[in-house]
C-alpha cells in the first residue's frame, strides 16, 4: 500500500479540484493536506499544470481506447458506462471545469477529450448520418455517460442500474429496441 508522495499529490489534487476547481485550488491547498512544504510538490512536478496532466492521463487513454476497435453500438455504450463509472472521480474533478479544460488544451496532449467525444458520437451515428441518426447518437451517448455519472454512488454502479441504463441508451439510439 506504499502510495508514494507523487501518487498522494495526484489523489489530493483530484479531491480538491472536484471541490474548488483547478484554478480555485492552490499548491498551498494541496500541501496543507499533504503535510509537507510547497517545494516538495515542485520536486515531483514541474508546475501546477503537470499535476492536472498526470491526473487525466489514464482516464483519457481509456476513453480513447473505446473507439479503436469496431464494436457494436451496444458494446460501445456498455463500455462508455463502465469507463465513466470507473473514472467517475476524475470526471467529476475536471470533466467540465473550464479552467482545467483551458490548461489541457494548451498542453496539446496525446488524447483530447473533444476528439474522443466526436469519435464516440461518430461511431454511434454511423457513416453519413441523417439528422435523426445524429440526434439519436447524441441521446444514447448522454444516457450512457451522464446517466452513469448520476447513478454511480461510492464509485460503484449497481448491476440493475447498469442493465437498465444500457437498455435506456439503446432505446434512445434506436426505436426498435
Which partner, DNA, a second copy, none, binds residue 105 by CB below 5 to 8 Å per kind? none
Rounded Cα–Cα distance for residues 165 and 133 (Å): 20
Check binding of 17 to a second copy (CB under 8 A): yes
Q: Give yes or no for residue 1 binding DNA (CB under 7 A).
A: no
Nearer Cβ to DNA (24/155): 24
How large is the angle between the packed helices 73-86 and 131-151, nearest 10 degrees?
30
Q: Is 158 left (phi over 0), alpha (psi -120 to 50) or beta?
A: beta
Applying CB under 8 A, the span of 28-36, 50-58, 92-100, 108-116 interacting with a second copy comes to 92-100
The rounded Cα 69 to chain-centroid distance in angstroms is: 19
Q: Which of residues 38-67 bind DNA (CB under 7 A)?
A: 38-40, 42-44, 46-49
Give least dist CB 97 to DNA, A.
Answer: 14
CA distance 15 to 108: 24
Between 48 and 66, CB nearer to a second copy: 48
Binding of a second copy by 142 (CB under 8 A): yes
Of 23, 14, 99, nearest to 54 (Cα)?
14
Q: Which positions lie near DNA, rule CB under 7 A?
A: 5, 25-29, 35-40, 42-44, 46-49
Amino acid at each position: 500500500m506504499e502510495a508514494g508522495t507523487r501518487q498522494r499529490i495526484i489523489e489530493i489534487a483530484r479531491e480538491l479540484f472536484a471541490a474548488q476547481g483547478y484554478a480555485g485550488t492552490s499548491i498551498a491547498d494541496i500541501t496543507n493536506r499533504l503535510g509537507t512544504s510547497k517545494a516538495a510538490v515542485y520536486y515531483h512536478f514541474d508546475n501546477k499544470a503537470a499535476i492536472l496532466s498526470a491526473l487525466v492521463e489514464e482516464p483519457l487513454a481509456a476513453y480513447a481506447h473505446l473507439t479503436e476497435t469496431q464494436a457494436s453500438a451496444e458494446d460501445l455504450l456498455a463500455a462508455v458506462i463502465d469507463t465513466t463509472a470507473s473514472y467517475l472521480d476524475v470526471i467529476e474533478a475536471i470533466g467540465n471545469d473550464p479552467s482545467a479544460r483551458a490548461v489541457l488544451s494548451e498542453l496539446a496532449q496525446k488524447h483530447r477529450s473533444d476528439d474522443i467525444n466526436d469519435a464516440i458520437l461518430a461511431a454511434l451515428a454511423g457513416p453519413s448520418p441523417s439528422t435523426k441518426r445524429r440526434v439519436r447518437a447524441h441521446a444514447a451517448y448522454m444516457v450512457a455517460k451522464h446517466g452513469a455519472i448520476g447513478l454511480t454512488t461510492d464509485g460503484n454502479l449497481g448491476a440493475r442500474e447498469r442493465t437498465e441504463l444500457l437498455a435506456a441508451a439503446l432505446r434512445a439510439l434506436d426505436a426498435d429496441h
